[in-house]
């Protein structure tokens, strides 16, 4: 797990040790995706060996294809990585110790890019990343980028907002202290239903427009590390309102944070560097 500053806030990526995920986080109390979002995948970020050029896995995250070759994720998922391997299988448990996490016949290689203003010491301000895949993935549909200010209409008086959101990702279903033996880490795509709590409050940046706090509970589910970079859709749509960014404690309880994709600097970067625009890009 990569720990952000301040240390009470955890960036929701999961560190890898060989082929097994260390205790961290993922979609929590959610349900199997049942192939509702085949354009959501799991990525492993890593370095390239100086001598052999071989891929050396470091941590894993989730993300969304927004067209056949562009995989949107979180900035803390791409920052510091030299290369990425991505899988789109709904369940990759059988690949542990084989193609996963080192890459192989079932994965697609890609090059990671991070928002130009990203700062790892304040990741929540520009927590957006992109992976450009070496091979195109042809699907019937993909995730869609939001219009500028898309999220603004969802911030209403506390208790008045009935809009539901759907978070999708891979990783642990439960994160508990190692000595308890209660961590659940099935590598499968899952989804959970979220509601807005408020915006930007976790970092004393109220209404700065960068991030959103969502519910995270046993009744409707939530997010955890390993879900980082995974999409948070407005329920019933393929519009990526936010990407999973952080949690406020190591057991993924109470709240989860999403980074807004609908801000001007994010949309400008995606358009200028990758030719991606709000709506469909295929």
DSSP one-letter code for 116: T
The confidence score (pLDDT) of residue 274 equals 98
Predicted confidence at residue 207, as pLDDT, reads 61
The answer, yes or no, to whether residue 38 has pLDDT greater than 80, is: yes
Mean pLDDT of the chain: 82
Please tell me whether the overall predicted TM-score, pTM, comes out greater than 0.95 for this model.
no
User: Quick one: pLDDT at residue 251?
Assistant: 62
- Residue 108 CA to residue 106 CA, distance in Å, equals 7
24 pLDDT exceeds 50?
A: no
> Of 50-54, 81-85, 158-162, 266-270, where does mean pLDDT reach its minimum?
158-162
Which pLDDT band, with edges at 50, 70 and 90, does 187 fall under? confident
- The model's pLDDT over 207-242, given as tens digits with 9 standing for 90+, comes to 666 888 888 876 677 787 778 999 999 999 999 999
119 vs 4, higher pLDDT = 119
pLDDT at 15 over 80: no
pLDDT band (50, 70, 90) for residue 59: very high
Cβ–Cβ < 8 Å for 135, 19: no
CATH top-level class of 38-142+264-274: mainly beta
89-98, 226-235, 263-272: least confidently modelled range: 89-98
Is the pLDDT at 259 greater than 70? The verdict is yes
Is the pLDDT reported for residue 256 higher than 90?
Answer: no
């Amino acid at each position: 797990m990569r720990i952000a500053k301040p240390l009470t806030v955890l960036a929701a990526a999961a560190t890898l040790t060989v082929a097994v995920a260390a205790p961290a986080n993922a979609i929590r109390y959610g349900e199997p995706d049942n192939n509702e979002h085949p354009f959501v995948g799991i990525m492993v970020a890593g370095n390239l060996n100086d001598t052999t050029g071989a891929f050396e896995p470091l941590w894993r995250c989730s993300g969304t294809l927004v067209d056949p070759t562009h995989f949107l994720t979180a900035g803390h998922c791409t920052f510091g990585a030299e290369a990425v391997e991505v899988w789109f299988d709904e369940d990759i448990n059988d690949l542990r110790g084989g193609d996963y996490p080192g890459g192989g016949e079932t994965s697609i290689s890609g090059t990671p890019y991070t928002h130009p203003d990203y700062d790892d010491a304040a990741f929540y301000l520009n927590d957006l990343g992109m992976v450009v895949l070496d091979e195109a993935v042809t699907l019937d549909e993909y995730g869609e980028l939001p219009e500028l200010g898309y999220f603004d209409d969802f911030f209403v008086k506390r208790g008045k907002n009935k809009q539901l959101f759907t978070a999708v990702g891979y990783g642990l279903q439960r994160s508990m202290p190692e000595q308890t033996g209660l961590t659940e880490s099935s590598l499968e795509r899952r989804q959970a239903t979220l509601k807005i709590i408020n915006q930007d409050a976790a970092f004393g940046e109220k209404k700065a427009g960068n991030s959103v706090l969502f519910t995270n509970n046993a009744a409707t589910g939530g997010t955890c590390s390993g879900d980082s970079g995974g999409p948070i859709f407005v329920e019933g749509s393929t519009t990526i309102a936010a990407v999973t960014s952080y949690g406020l404690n190591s057991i993924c309880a109470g709240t989860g944070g999403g980074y807004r994709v609908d801000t001007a600097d994010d949309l400008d970067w995606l358009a200028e560097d990758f030719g991606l625009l709000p709506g469909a890009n295929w």
